[in-house]
Amino acid sequence: MTNTAVMNSLTFNVERKGETAIVRCRGRLVAGLCGDFYAKIKPLFADSKRVVLDLTDLDSVDSMGLGILVRLYASAKSAGSCLELINLNKKVRDLLGITNLLSLFGEMCEKGVAIKF
């Protein structure tokens, strides 16, 4: 893989624990990489009460990435599921704060806080 391909990549793996699906993300949630991510994550809401996006290794998010997070939020809410974002780095946390999305995700789950730092 070239350096450009590595810089412009998004990988994720899904681990299931009971009614929870944990999605570990690595790379960048940016334009051109979001469609596949959304297509793979959205079906998890049908059979998971809780979907956790672990953003420990997510380097950056652009406006398309924010849009995908909002679409996933809406999909989770429609399915009666909970979407949690955990381990946000400072850059991603600041972006969600500036766009007032921290409060949106913070109110998502009834049991506890949906965003964990």
29: CB partners within 8 A, 6+ apart = 10, 37, 58, 60, 61, 62, 64, 65, 68, 69
Mark residue 32 as left, alpha or beta (left: phi above 0; alpha: psi -120 to 50; beta: remaining).
Answer: left
Model confidence over 14-61: pLDDT tens digits?
999 999 999 999 999 999 999 999 999 999 999 999 999 999 999 889
Average pLDDT of the chain, as a whole number: 85
Model confidence over 85-111: pLDDT tens digits?
999 888 888 888 899 888 777 655 544
DSSP track, 70-93: HHHHHHHHHHT-EEEEES--HHHH
Q: What is the pLDDT of residue 106?
A: 66
What ranges do the domains of the chain cover? 12-108
Q: Classify domain 12-108 at the CATH topology level.
A: Transcription Regulator spoIIAA (3.30.750)
State how far the Cα of 44 lies from the Cα of 112, in Å rounded to an integer.
Answer: 21
State how far the Cα of 59 lies from the Cα of 75, in Å rounded to an integer.
Answer: 24
pTM for the structure as a whole = 0.84
Model confidence over 27-36: pLDDT tens digits?
999 999 999 9
DSSP track, 49-77: SEEEEEEEEEEEE-HHHHHHHHHHHHHHH
Confidence category of residue 6, pLDDT binned at 50, 70, 90: very low
Q: What is the pLDDT of residue 103?
A: 79
Mark residue 112 as left, alpha or beta (left: phi above 0; alpha: psi -120 to 50; beta: remaining).
Answer: left
